[in-house]
Amino acid sequence: MRPRPEVDDDSVESHARMRLFLSLHLPAVALGLGTGITQPVLPVLAESFEVGIGLAATVFIAQMVGGAVGTLPTGHAIDRVGRRKIMLAGPVIVAIASFLTATAGSIPELLVYRFVAGWGQQMWMLARLTVIADTGRADQRGKQITGMFSSQRVGMLAGPAIGGFTAAAWGLGVPFVIHGVFALLAVIPSFFIVSETRALALTPQSAPRDGPSPMEPFDWRSLLAYPFPMVFLGQFMANLARGGIEGGGVLFLYAVYAYGASTETLGVLSSVMAAVGIPIALFAGWVMDRFGRKWTIVPGSTLLSMGLLFMAATSFWSLSFTMFLTAFVTLHLTVNLMIGSMQTLGTDIAPPQARGRFFGVSRLVAQSGRISSPGSFAIFSEFVGFGAAFVFMAGSAAAAAITIGRFVKETLGRP
């Protein structure tokens, strides 16, 4: 009998890391880079159509709406068509939408193309989360998901500088062409190394503890059973609190209107906080896999609430710009501690026979909170004041901490 060849464990592990990089981190970097490239160009492109600031701002909202509208259809397609096809189609759709954006001749065209780009990006995100839920061990999901989001941030760090330079040198359409090319190049390896994982979700080992059998038919009403409503509520409140903070968001508006901060100051703050946040997010992934999901969600939401109250105090008592900077740094550190935490919790409890549809609902809830965050801040700031707006966001963060800490059991350890 011919002896079995010895398997080099280091070689196998190295091969697995390379597959993970090519299928997860590389597309995430490309999509994040594309988002960063287009951010400084979109307002100028919208202004070139001679529209007011209100209509120009909708180019950002259109992409967020596209991502929100695409959640449920994408989740359904993931379960019916398969994870692999949707994950490969997402970056291709983003690339096509970016190429079309470069040719937009009117503001309605631009809005349609950004809507489609948001939908395509959501397709890749949902499919990738579902694959992680299918294949990732419980003690590795936190690191995989935070690694995915951190990779996107790496791309977003360099993106604005590339977009601004190329637009100034060669025209407003060129950054979108670059975005499309990067998206296509990044997804090419996935065509060869990503396998369909839907069958893995239907094995008995994939069922959550005390959860339904993978062979049971899915009923949408099952999402009303514990713990799904509590998880969705916590997810909505957390995104309502942090949705306007990530990337600067409403804090930039507050800095400009309350302190007269310059664009240079805000740009430096954003870049520094994004760079510092990457290792914090990766550390949070390790904590989730080592101690539990709630070890980042509950402390992170609590600290976020306290940081928002601190920011409210800068408005109520007209504190100095130095105090604003302290609150700004505190908020960004706590937000990075929470990156990927709710998604990791979702991979633990998602019904194995309907993970795509579960993540569709989950991402719709999250996107609704993110879209509502700047809107609620604007309403409170306009009619009550900045301080009241931050207090409302602080209450939302505290509600998220209470909901997850009190009403959701720890999920780490489920097979």
CA distance 130 to 30: 20
pLDDT at position 274 is: 72
Pick from 28-42, 61-75, 280-294, 394-408: least confident:
28-42
Tokens 């970016």 belong to residue? 98
Q: Is the pLDDT of residue 237 over 90?
A: yes
The answer to whether the CB of 241 falls within 8 A of the CB of 389 is: no
DSSP 8-state assignment for residue 220: G
Q: How many CB atoms lie within 10 A of CB 244?
A: 26
For the segment 299-307, the average pLDDT, to the nearest whole number, is 94
Q: Which amino acid, residue 377?
A: F
3-state secondary structure of 114: helix
Task: Provide CB contacts within 8 A for 144, sequence distance 6+.
Answer: 20, 24, 132, 136, 285
Looking at 2.40.128.120, 3.40.50.970, 1.20.1250.20, 1.10.1740.10, the CATH number of the domain 19-201 comes to 1.20.1250.20
For the segment 97-126, the average pLDDT, to the nearest whole number, is 90
Confidence of residue 72 (pLDDT cuts 50, 70, 90): very high
Q: Report the percent of the chain where pLDDT is more than 90.
A: 32
Instruction: Report residue 196: phi and psi, to 5°.
Output: -75, 135
pLDDT at position 203 is: 62
Q: How many CB atoms lie within 10 A of CB 405?
A: 15
Task: Provide CB contacts within 8 A for 371, sequence distance 6+.
Answer: 61, 64, 65, 68, 243
Confidence of residue 415 (pLDDT cuts 50, 70, 90): very low
Decide if 19-201 and 222-415 have a common fold: yes
Pick from 28-32, 72-76, 79-83, 276-280: least confident:
28-32
Confidence of residue 174 (pLDDT cuts 50, 70, 90): confident
Q: What pLDDT, in 10s, does the model give residues 315-358?
A: 999 899 999 989 988 888 888 888 889 999 998 888 888 889 99
What residue ranges in 298-342 does DSSP mark as E strands? none
- One DSSP character per residue, 361-389 reads HHHHHHHHHHHHHHHHHHHHHHHT-HHHH
Confidence of residue 9 (pLDDT cuts 50, 70, 90): low
pLDDT at position 184 is: 92
pLDDT at position 56 is: 64
CA distance 389 to 378: 8
Task: Provide CB contacts within 8 A for 210, sequence distance 6+.
Answer: none
Burial code of 259-273, b = ≥16 C-beta within 10 A, e = fewer? eebeeebbeebbeeb
For the segment 302-308, the average pLDDT, to the nearest whole number, is 94
Which residue would you say has higher pLDDT here, 25 or 311? 311
Q: How many CB atoms lie within 10 A of CB 67?
A: 26
Confidence of residue 214 (pLDDT cuts 50, 70, 90): low
CA distance 146 to 116: 26
CA distance 216 to 209: 15
Nearest to 239 by CA among 133, 335, 347: 335
CA distance 35 to 337: 22
Ordered by start, the domain boundaries in the chain are: 19-201, 222-415
CA distance 331 to 248: 10
- Domain 222-415 belongs to what topology? Growth Hormone; Chain: A; (1.20.1250)
The answer to whether the CB of 315 falls within 8 A of the CB of 390 is: yes
Q: What pLDDT, in 10s, does the model give residues 242-267?
A: 877 776 567 777 887 888 877 567 66
Which pTM does this prediction carry?
A: 0.84
Q: What pLDDT, in 10s, does the model give residues 126-166?
A: 998 898 888 878 888 888 888 888 887 777 776 776 777 78
Q: Which amino acid, residue 188?
A: I
Phi-psi region of 8 (alpha: psi -120 to 50; beta: other; left: phi over 0): beta
The answer to whether the CB of 339 falls within 8 A of the CB of 281 is: yes
Q: Is the pLDDT of residue 190 over 80?
A: yes
Q: Which helix (H) or strand (E) holds 235?
A: helix 228-242
